[in-house]
Amino acid sequence: MTLCPEAKNRLAAAVQEEVPLASDPFAALAAGLSVGADEVLTQLAEWETQGSLREISAILEGEALGYESALVAARVAPEEIDRVAEVVNRHPTVTHNYQRDHAYNLWFTLAVPEEMGLERTLSILSAEADGVAFAPLRRRRTYKIGVRFSLETSRNDSGVSGAATPVRIRPDERLAAILRALQTPLPLEPAPFGALAAQAGCDEETFLSWAGALRGRVLRRYAATFRHHHLGVLGNGMVVWRIPEERLDDAGRRLAEAPEVSHCYARETVPDFPYSLYSMLHAPDEEGVRRTARSLASEVGVEDYLILFSVREFKKCRLRYLLPELDRWWSERWLAPARP
């Protein structure tokens, strides 16, 4: 049986908010939506086949695991950008890598354990890219992290959601195995956590008990992500704002209140790019992004801003931590300090 459009939208909203950490999460979702569990599974499988549903998995707090991260920008000669992007993409924890329409034309996100070091990692990438300079723009404050795309309105419907300061943990091998399994895409089948538990080397009850205990600590959310282009959200731009320090928090909070804004951060600046507030805007098309940016600029009282549209997407995936591939990448290039 096919879900009606209203039920589809409610299901999409529910799985983007939180998928229950229960033995049969799809039955639990179905009960909350007053539909059948088989209908939930059928719809999720259909979205996956269509390419709309990217995955259901854990969103972890990297800071709690001792990772440091940054948005990184670089000026790359147009004829070299494919080669440099390939170098960057080989790093296992580069998750988003775009060419954008600016002199700073390569933008990517990077997260590494503190013992590897952001600067040391970027120096390795720079050497492999024949000396391209990479500028790390670290996050100073978070005003909003929230992507909840609506099937009905084709826009981001998230409210204001920031990130609390996490408590550091040092996972042993058992916990690391559980965290790796939690980051594995959830199988679309009844009682799917059994497969993840087996991957982690424990039974389902133990696995779910650990997952529940981690919620609010290292586990931020267990939820679905959608490919927004498949949902009719074809316009998205990174809007950067030049704002005096004394007005930064007020502007960040006001931008975060706009439903079209999915992410909003204060970041470090570099001398030739003095923009300190970053926001991601989503709309059905690029003109919609421009209109929203003009409206927000008027509301916040900021005239100096840029919209950086993506020209090409080189890489996009969910960030995963504790990857053996990262240890291999590092050991091939640098003698890593022993991990605790």
Alpha-carbon distances of 50 from 6, 45, 93, rounded to whole Å? 19, 9, 26
Whether the Cβ atoms of residue 47 and residue 53 lie closer than 8 Å to each other: yes
Distance of CA 253 to CAs 139, 249, 278, 294, Å? 15, 6, 12, 17
Residue of 91, 96, 230, 282 marked catalytic: 96
Side chain identity, residue 228: H
Considering only CA atoms, give the Rg of the chain: 21
What is the spatial distance between Cα 320 and Cα 168, in angstroms, rounded to a whole number?
17
- The C-alpha angle with vertex 292 and arms to 286 and 296, in degrees rounded to 5, equals 145
* Stretch (H or E) spanning 73: strand 67-74
Joined together, the tokens standing for residue 258 give 């706009």
Q: Where are the alpha helices (DSSP H) in the chain?
A: 5-17, 25-33, 37-50, 81-89, 118-128, 173-182, 193-200, 204-214, 245-256, 286-300, 324-331
Is 96 designated active site?
yes
* Phi/psi-derived region of residue 54, left when phi > 0, alpha when psi is between -120 and 50, beta in every other case: alpha
List the catalytic residues: 96
